[in-house]
């Protein structure tokens, strides 16, 4: 019996023009008749005493992100059920924001791409994907650069 994913969270980075990881999430949603939750986390720099993660701060970047996610969903997702979510987080709390939203939507799985950085770049920049894997209360499907290349090759 196949695993059914009723709630799938797909964090979206706007610097990924292909949204290939989104295609994996869309496929899971389509095959399970689930809802795909698109999330973008806006980086914010909280003042002393403000929380690292928040939602609906009514900052311009959140509304712009909401509109952009809606456009992506309309262009990329076809008949799949979807919802848009935007959160704001300090750069050190991006993974925390993803995990929080996953819990709010009762995600059965999180699908996100990983940059595949190694060595000093990984040490300096860190890995949001790694933090999500460590802290999520549901399975996490990470889409590596090699998997993305394979997907692109299969589509060609």
Q: From start to end of 3-154, where are the E strands?
A: 7-11, 35-43, 53-54, 81-89, 109-113, 140-143
- 90-134 per-position pLDDT tens digit: 888 899 999 999 999 999 999 988 765 554 444 434 588 889 989
Confidence of residue 15 (pLDDT cuts 50, 70, 90): confident
Residue 119: CB partners within 8 Å, gap ≥ 6?
none
- 48-106 per-position pLDDT tens digit: 666 666 666 657 888 899 999 999 999 989 889 999 999 988 888 899 999 999 999 99
Topology (CATH level 3) of domain 7-155: Rossmann fold (3.40.50)
């Amino acid at each position: 019996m196949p695993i059914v994913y009723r709630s799938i969270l797909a964090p979206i980075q706007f610097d990924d023009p292909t949204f290939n990881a989104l295609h994996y999430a869309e496929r899971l949603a389509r095959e399970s008749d689930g809802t795909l939750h698109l999330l973008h986390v806006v980086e914010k720099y909280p003042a002393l005493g403000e929380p690292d993660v928040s939602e609906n701060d009514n900052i311009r970047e959140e509304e712009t992100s909401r509109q952009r996610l809606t456009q992506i969903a309309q262009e990329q997702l076809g008949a799949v059920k979807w919802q848009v979510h935007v959160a704001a987080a300090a750069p050190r709390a991006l993974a925390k924001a993803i995990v929080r939203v996953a819990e709010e939507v009762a995600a059965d799985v999180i699908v996100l791409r990983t940059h595949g950085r190694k060595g000093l770049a990984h040490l300096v920049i860190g890995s949001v994907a790694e933090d999500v894997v460590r802290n999520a209360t549901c399975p996490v499907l990470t889409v590596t650069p090699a998997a993305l290349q394979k997907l692109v090759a299969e589509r060609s």
